[in-house]
Amino acid sequence: MSNPAIPLNDAPSQVRDLVVIGAGPAGMAAALAAKRRGLDVLLLDEQPKVGGQIYRSITETDAQRERILGADYVYGKSLAEQIRASGLAHWAGASVWQIDPDKTVHVLRNDRTTRIETKSLVIATGAMERPFPVPGWTLPGVMTAGAGQILLKNAAVVPQVPVVLAGCGPLLYLLAAQYLRAGVEIRAVLDTSAGTDWRLAISHATSLLAGWGYVRKGLGLLREIKSAGIPFFKDVGGLRIDGEDAVRQVSFSSAGRAQQIDCELVMLHQGVVPNTQVSWSLRAEHQWDDEQLCWVPVLDSWGQTSLPGIYIAGDGAGIGGALVAEMQGALAGIGVANSLGFGASEDGAQQRAQIAQHLRIRPFLNQQYRPKDEFRIPADDVVVCRCEEVTAGAIREQVQLGCVGPNQTKSFSRCGMGPCQGRQCGLTVTEIIAKEAKLPPQDVGYYRIRPPLKSLSLAQLAAGV
């Protein structure tokens, strides 16, 4: 029997020790590390099951899909199993649409908005694909390799027409290998990386050796693709996709020779970059990473941002891959436990050493798969902001008129103000302005990201009265 003096519905709302946003490798590891140290943890994720993008649908997969997707994917099962066994609170289908400066997290779930108070926060929202603005990239029939892979993981959906894969980076080669295993017809792979500059590669010799495990996997994928007899074009430049209402053809040059391929489906990919929408919306400090050509949040040795109690782990902190993400998640979880006075204050040295070991390959990968300037800072006639159809040329004109940063492009042209709120064009806009104004990207800055972080209808907002 409850005490009538304390009505249950007037009980003070619970303040969690930790809320983790994102149930990929970093988020799962952070939640587990904190939970094991006795913290009251809530793991939030948009998807129906844990796994994030990298281990998406890992709890639902079957033997055939495991064969197609490979051992690195199957590894995610162990994390998912630990989450299940830990009994920690996991809200699936929970979309975070705003975080207040006091760390209150606003969640939309089952059509209702909920407010969650917490003492600390780990943001593990991962990476997103780098925009790949080439002529024709907005045509129906063009999608990203990441989107293709999600369809494969989620629903075992694969293209029924021959596909051209264009770009560079591990995900592109991985998808090619997975498609081969799934029996998808790949018409060609167009590799836009500049080709190995051995002078630079040698300068990364230690990086190469230290990361040999990663390199071996990469070489294995390339071998798998090449031995399948798929046309593989190296050093691709001048890529354009043609068609009136849909893709008809791709044109490009490879090693100096003009090429054309007829096709209906093109998948583009030139690497992933940290998804910093959440950390920008919180006005955490960020810096431009010249090696990875993207924004990264400024973090301390535990992964804590410039905002006390708010941590970032995983690819959202800088691209390191799934295993690094997991280790960073654990480190952040320990950091949070320390800061809230749980358990023996651990120094995290072991995790940091592991992370450093796994990151040693990065300088080589960053150089090897550095997207070419022409594919990041496009020609004048290429659409940059897909939502509002703003071209690179229009942005250059705005710079000539005195536009000093991405936020002003909104006023000049609605660039970055459409449904995606700059997610698709943000990096491109920063780099175009930087080049045109002859400023470092750091000085050009980024969009001010406004709520809602995720789609929210008027009725859903109204229901939060």
Partner 1 sequence: MAGIASPASGSSDVLVIGGGLQGLSSAFQLAKAGLSVRLLEAEYCGRHASGVNAGGVRTLGRHVAEIPLALAAREQLWHGLADIIGSDGGFVPSGHLQVAESEADEIKAKARVAMLNGLGFFHEQWVDQQQVRELVPSISPHVVGGIWADRDGYALPYKVATAYRLAAEKLGVQIVEQAPVLRVDHQSGMWQASTAQGVFHAPWLVNTAGAWAADFAAQVGDTVPMVAGGLMLMVTQRVAPFVKPVLGAMGRPLSFKQFDNGTVVIGGGLRCEADASQRHAMVDLNRMPKSAQTVIDLFPHLRDVSIARAWTGIEGFMPDEIPVISPSARADNLVHAFGFSAHGFELSPITGCIVAELVTQGTSSLPISAFRVDRFATA
- Under the rule (CB under 8 A), what is the footprint of partner 1? 97-98, 100-101, 106, 115, 283, 404, 408, 411-412, 414, 417-419, 421, 448, 450-452, 455-459, 461-465
- The minimum distance between CB 107 and partner 1, in angstroms, equals 13
- The minimum distance between CB 150 and partner 1, in angstroms, equals 21
Bridge-based pairing state of the strands 383-385 and 390-391: antiparallel
**Closest CA relative to residue 172, chosen from 208, 131, 227, 129:** 129
**Closer CB to partner 1, 419 or 440, in the complex:** 419
- The minimum distance between CB 105 and partner 1, in angstroms, equals 12
What one-character DSSP code corresponds to residue 47?
S
**Closer CB to partner 1, 95 or 193, in the complex:** 95
- The minimum distance between CB 149 and partner 1, in angstroms, equals 26
Place of tokens 């436990």: 337
Tokens of 147: 């989107």
- The minimum distance between CB 461 and partner 1, in angstroms, equals 4
Give me the amino acid identity at 280: W
- The minimum distance between CB 412 and partner 1, in angstroms, equals 8
**Closer CB to partner 1, 220 or 419, in the complex:** 419
Give me the amino acid identity at 192: T
**Closer CB to partner 1, 437 or 461, in the complex:** 461
Q: What angle do CA 441, 442, 448 make, to 5 degrees?
A: 95
Give me the amino acid identity at 57: S
- CB within 8 A of 241, min separation 6: which ones? 134, 135, 136, 137, 139, 142, 247, 249, 250, 266
Q: Which residues pair with 89 in a beta bridge?
A: 42
Say if residues 355 and 327 touch (Cβ distance below 8 Å): yes
Give me the amino acid identity at 225: I
* SS3 label, residue 226: helix
Q: Which helix (H) or strand (E) holds 418?
A: none
- The minimum distance between CB 233 and partner 1, in angstroms, equals 39
- The minimum distance between CB 464 and partner 1, in angstroms, equals 5
**Closer CB to partner 1, 276 or 421, in the complex:** 421
**Closer CB to partner 1, 213 or 451, in the complex:** 451
**Closer CB to partner 1, 158 or 404, in the complex:** 404
* Euclidean distance between CA atoms 326 and 257, whole angstroms: 43
Say if residues 32 and 53 touch (Cβ distance below 8 Å): no
- CB within 8 A of 335, min separation 6: which ones? 302, 303, 304, 311, 348
- The minimum distance between CB 441 and partner 1, in angstroms, equals 19
* Euclidean distance between CA atoms 384 and 369, whole angstroms: 22
**Closer CB to partner 1, 179 or 447, in the complex:** 447
**Closer CB to partner 1, 85 or 458, in the complex:** 458
* Euclidean distance between CA atoms 336 and 120, whole angstroms: 7
